[in-house]
Structure 1
Amino acid sequence: MAPFLLWISSLFFFFGFASSHLIEVAASRKECFFEDLHVNDQMTVTYQVGGGGHLDIDFWVSSPDGNAIRKNIRYSTGTVSITAEKDGRYEYCFSNQMSAIADKIVSFNVHGVIYIGEGADEIVAPIEREIRALAHGLTSVKDEQEYIVVRERTHRNTAESTNARVKWWSIMQAVVLFSVVAWQVYYLKSFFEVKRVI
């Protein structure tokens, strides 16, 4: 029963450690964050670019030594998981240095899961296994929901932009049409004016 309570407490820790962020990465800049991890801790970062340029960004995770562990170049969405091989501060960065003009809006989630070791002498209860599978499934659902929210925001912005362009185009066409009609009425009226010479 004690391992079950330990697993439940780590599950609550998991829910407390998962977080979601929305940042704007300026053109020719990078934004970096860090997490302090211990050996065998797992960290997963999922991200989506919600606006700006070609909807792509560079992403990498660095070890405490400063070496890049994982790297995604010009991806619009991605999931990167690492398992800490040693204690220390792991840094993850979003880079918009390839763009000189467009700022990027990035939504990302960070999930940290402390795994309880499954050694040869440890027997994992079926309910613990199910709880772990449920926690993993819940993380996947949350990531998918975040992705859907970002895509909905992007599509809504596109639809509103298109709506505004159509509205202004229609107003411009109406102004041109009424101007042409007014000019034609004035021009035709001038044909029927009788000019008298006194």
Structure 2
Amino acid sequence: MSRLLYTLSTVFSVLVILPLLASGHAIEVAAGKKDCFFEDLHVHDKMTVSYQVGGGGHLDIDFWLSDPNGKILGKHIRQDTGSVSITAAVDGRHEYCFSNQMSAIADKIVSFNVHGVIYIDEDEAVAPIEREIRNLAIGLTSVKDEQEYIVVRERTHRNTAESTNARVKWWSVLQAIVIFVVVAWQIYYLKSFFEVKRII
């Protein structure tokens, strides 16, 4: 009976704690600025940061992730999307930054997700159901990240389509105006050939 209670309490704690290990955010990085965040990790903890630029400029951003000693563990330059996964080699505060310093005008909207797995020594007794729940939670996090990525991509494509539609509309209006102006000028020019000029 005590084993069953221990298993149920472990399952409950995993279900409560695991959603807290994954988080999604949307930020606006101002032109010429950078935004940095951090996570406190212990040795063997795993962390993944995935991001997607949803608006602004050429939809690109600089990203890097560093350990407490300042060593760069992952770096992307002018990417619209990316993901960096690490396993902590040292205890301490791991920092990740989004930089828009290459842009002087355009602010960037960045959606990003951070999720991780807390390392548990294999020597610890882990019930099979707890292991399966952890695997399920990791799988659900991956599905959630993929859905958020698809939403951002759909928003980006919709903005592109609407922008293209607006440009086509205004180009058509401009063409119509040019045609009317050319027709009016041609009528005026041809009319001048048929005018009778009197010499006094």
TM-score interval, normalised by the smaller of the two chains: 0.7 to 0.9
Give the 5 Å matches for 1:164-175: 164-175=166-177
Question: Following the alignment from structure 1 to structure 2, what is the Cα–Cα distance between the partners of residues 45 and 154?
Answer: 20
More moved, 54-63 vs 168-177 = 54-63
Provide the secondary structure at the position in 2 that maps to 1:108. strand
Q: 1:112 aligns with which of 96, 116, 136?
A: 116
Please name the residue that 1:44 is paired with. 48
1:124 to 123, 127, 132: 127
Q: How many residues align?
A: 196
Q: What letter is aligned with 2:175?
A: Q
Task: Pick the aligned partner of 2:79 from 69, 75, 80.
Answer: 75
Structure 2 counterparts to residues 18-37 of structure 1, below 5 A: 18-37=22-41
Say if 2:60 and 2:78, in contact at 8 Å, map to a contact too: yes
The CA distance in 1 between the partners of 2:120 and 2:48, in whole Å, is 17
**C-alpha offsets along residues 23-48 of structure 1, whole Å, 9 cap, x if unaligned?**
22234322101122344433221111
1:76-95 → structure 2 map (5 Å cutoff): 76-95=80-99
Counting aligned pairs with the same residue, the percent is 73
Residue 58 of structure 2 is aligned to residue 64 of structure 1: no
**CA–CA separation in structure 1 for the residues paired with 2:161 and 2:81:** 21
In 1: Cα distance, 2:141 partner to 2:133 partner: 12
User: Equivalents in 1 of 2:60, 2:106: separation in Å?
Assistant: 11
Length-normalised TM-score, structure 1: 0.83
Q: Distance in 1 between matches of 2:173 and 2:148?
A: 38
Instruction: Find the aligned partners of 2:135 and 2:13 in 1 and give their Cα distance.
Output: 16
- Contact 2:14 2:133 (C-alpha < 8 Å) held by counterparts: no
Q: In 2, distance between residues paired with 1:77 and 1:71? A: 12
Runs of 4+ aligned structure 1 residues displaced above 6 Å come to none
Deviation at 1:86, TM superposition (A): 4.2
Aligned-partner Cα distance in 1 for 2:147–2:171: 36
> Which one-letter code corresponds to 2:127 in the other structure?
V
Q: Which residues of structure 2 form unaligned runs of 5+?
A: none
For 1:134, the equivalent position in structure 2 comes to 136
Q: Compute the displacement of 1:49 (Å).
A: 2.1
Work out whether 1:5 is the aligned partner of 2:9.
yes
- Residue 179 of structure 1, CA deviation: 0.9
Residue 118 of structure 1 contacts residue 124 of structure 1 at CA under 8 Å; is this kept in 2? Answer: no
Query: Does the alignment pair 1:96 with 2:100?
Result: yes
Give 5+ residue unaligned stretches, structure 1.
none
Q: Does the CA-based 8 Å contact 1:51-1:106 persist in structure 2?
A: yes
More divergent stretch after superposition (143-152 vs 61-70): 61-70
CA distance in 2, matches of 1:55, 1:154: 9
- So what's the TM-score if we normalise by structure 2? 0.83
